[in-house]
Structure 1
């Protein structure tokens, strides 16, 4: 599992770099999907299958579809976006990031990953009891806010042009 963790973490890191450095919004979105799937792999490698499944369903599924619809509604191309930075600054940030990652890996080289959590806090039933018991009102308010956001985005997308 240690190897799977590091492979998924490396894939997540590289895909996230693809998100940040890509000029095309749809390509950046696809890199983000790969990054989120790799983070789900990290959760699975750490012994948290429920968190990994939620990552795949909620983030890699639903949120990415929402982002794709927003990109399609805006119809942005690489020419519509402002230039982020010049090449020298990009290479400086890349070098500093590589040094930071190397330092973090050197500090963590001798450690082993902890065993996955097998207690009542990680079980699906305990999460459901808390979510629909103690936190039912905030859960319903969040659902209502999401519904309002969806209706608002549909209204904004289908607004008649002014004459």
Structure 2
């Protein structure tokens, strides 16, 4: 299979699973479809030779955040909180807005001129972690260290805000 065939296959799977996220009646199924969507997007990262982004996408989004969403949804009592069904006017308005957005997107994509990639400047090691680390620790060392200090200060601040006073016995 050629790379473009893989791209079309993954794009179809991504669009289908993203559509199922929206159309699924069960919120747990929606979260599982979203996890599958993230895996498909990770496949796109592999096709773009960005293995680091693929690994981060799987670990952070498909792993941590979706598990958190799944636990929050499972903690809700969804049988009690069933929303009232939408009126026909609301459904009609949603259909009109979605159709308008679709027409605008199709018109915008028809006018775009896509550049053809230059094969002479292609570097197969662009998305590798080693190259990212070299750039991060050479050219962007100061901003990287400033961000780590900022995260540390934010972590200490959140601990201090969340810390209960010793004399406060109110729970």
- Check whether TM > 0.5: yes
Q: Does 1:122 align with 2:122?
A: no
Question: Could you list the runs of 5+ residues in structure 2 that have no partner in the other structure?
Answer: 163-170
Matches within 5 A, 1:6-85: 6-73=8-75, 75-77=76-78, 80-82=81-83, 85=86
Q: Deviations over 1:5-59 (max 9, x none)?
A: 2222222222222222333221110111111111111111222222122211211
Deviation, 1:144, is 7.3
Backbone CA RMSD of aligned residues: 4.0
The number of aligned residues is 151
Q: TM-score, normalised by structure 1?
A: 0.64
The whole-number CA distance in structure 1 between the counterparts of 2:123 and 2:27 is 40
Q: Deviations over 1:51-87 (max 9, x none)?
A: 12221121111111111122222x2426625358544
The whole-number CA distance in structure 2 between the counterparts of 1:142 and 1:3 is 42
Question: Could you list the runs of 5+ residues in structure 1 that have no partner in the other structure?
Answer: 153-161
